[in-house]
Amino acid sequence: MKTALITGCSSGFGREIAEHFLDRDWKVVATMRTPREGVIRASEHLRLVALDVTDPQSIRQAVEAAGPIDALVNNAGIGLMSALEGTPLATIRDIFEANTFGPMAMIQCVLPQFRARKAGVIVNVSSATTLKSLPLLSVYTASKAAVNGFTQSLALEMAPFNVRVGLVLPGRSPETRFSRAAQQRAQSLEGAIPDAYASFAESVIADLRQGSPLVTHAEDVAEAVWRMVNDAASPLHVPVGADAVALAEAL
């Protein structure tokens, strides 16, 4: 029985990915900052492990606790909706620590075992915002565009070792707390949206709330990750969800 280590499983895509793998007879090491029973459907093949992807010691401990794994799914991340002018550099660094450096550090920690076995799959969860830029998301989009870039290069580095690396790019999901958390994070930052941007920001947020009939469902992401892990012929990057697919086709 194979094992997947999945980050960011407390809700949303991560939780759905974990349950998807459990339903298909994989062992799952589901990580989150504060593990809580009941967040993911109970299974004898499920292990909950504490992990903060911005903390090197936490990463080492989580990977050691997981033991040998066959797949790493880097799903953990945070959003931010703000105007660049009003976003403190410390906050920008926090976004990159979670969204970009976190996956890099996780990968560095598992590569030795994958390389030694000449087997393993890494899937990084990015974002469809990298397909079409949106206002007030410059910092978040930059952090995910960096993930896209290093994933593409890493895939070439690891090919000689038979380690596959892939990228899924989900669109907007009204089912998860991610978008709401991104707005709340901005609201907690004094001046994140300066007064000069207020009317513009209101119109952007209103458009987002009105939404598009095309959205991404959590099960779409879980199935895309599953296929990428289990299909050696899977493309390097896959847009996920009706909205993401539409953006990709429009390019």
Element (H, E) at 43: none
CB 181: neighbour CB atoms within 10 A?
Answer: 16
Instruction: Indicate if 126 belongs to the active site.
Output: yes
Instruction: For residue 234, give the amino acid letter.
Output: S
The Cα-based distances of 134 to 20, 138, 150 in angstroms read 31, 7, 22
Catalytic residue among 27, 144, 173, 197: 144
User: Is the CB of residue 97 less than 8 Å from the CB of residue 78?
Assistant: no
10 an active-site residue?
yes
- Residue 203 appears among annotated catalytic residues: no
Tell me which of 27, 127, 138, 140 is the catalytic residue.
140
Per DSSP, the three-state class of 125 is: strand
Question: Which residues, in sequence order, are CB contacts of 136 under 8 Å at separation 6+?
Answer: 81, 82, 83, 186, 193, 201, 204
Which of the following is catalytic: 27, 82, 126, 143? 126
CA distance linking residue 38 with residue 181, whole number of Å = 22
| Residues 6 or more apart in contact with residue 75 via CB below 8 angstroms | 6, 7, 8, 9, 13, 14, 17, 125
Is 140 marked active-site? yes
Catalytic residues: 10, 126, 140, 144
